[in-house]
């Protein structure tokens, strides 16, 4: 690829994305636009596939059972429409693509859980400290200080 395309791809990436693996149960918070209103919808299910983990096109496929029907959605992790991905459960699996879970229902669809630190996995790293210089902190004469109300 050309250098300009690579730079553009790096600009599109989010700084921090949760490390999601196949077998995780996740809650994906997604922006939905209806008319001129915007809301956040939560889709919770099992991650059955992860693609392009390191790139800006990294994608997960999440499956859940809704009203007795299996529903699968693919989410681009670096998309601006995906607000947050939260891992609720981690399971032990030995494959990247869990296509066999489509035929399973009830107790046969259970996966053995693995202990993990849920809070540490789902928290964002601390923002880097920004050092300001004295040239940036100078104020102009037309700015008036705002007084705090007691």
Cβ contact 66:60 at 8 Å: no
Which token pair is 148? 């705090």
Domain borders along the chain are 3-137
Alpha-carbon distance 18 to 53, whole Å?
Answer: 11
> Model pTM?
0.74
pLDDT of residue 148: 55
In CATH, what class is 3-137?
mainly beta
66 in helix, strand or coil? strand
Alpha-carbon distance 46 to 84, whole Å?
Answer: 16
- Each residue's pLDDT tens digit, 52-96: 888 888 899 999 999 989 999 999 998 889 999 999 999 999 989
| Strand positions, DSSP E, 3-141 | 25-34, 37-51, 59-66, 69-76, 82-89
pLDDT beneath 50: ranges in the chain = 150
């Amino acid at each position: 690829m050309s250098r300009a395309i690579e730079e553009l791809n790096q600009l599109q990436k989010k700084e921090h994305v949760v490390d999601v693996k196949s077998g995780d149960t996740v809650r994906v918070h997604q922006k939905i636009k209806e008319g001129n209103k915007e809301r956040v919808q939560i889709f919770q299910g099992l991650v059955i596939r992860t693609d392009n983990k390191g790139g800006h096109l990294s994608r997960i496929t999440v499956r859940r059972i809704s009203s007795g029907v299996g529903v699968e959605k693919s989410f681009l992790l670096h998309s601006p429409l995906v607000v947050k991905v939260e891992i609720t459960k981690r399971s032990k699996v030995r494959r990247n693509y869990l296509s066999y879970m489509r035929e399973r229902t009830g107790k046969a669809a259970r996966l053995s859980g693995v202990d993990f630190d849920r809070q540490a996995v789902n928290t964002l790293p601390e923002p880097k400290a920004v050092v300001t210089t004295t040239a940036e902190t100078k104020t102009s004469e037309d700015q008036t200080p705002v007084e705090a109300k007691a």
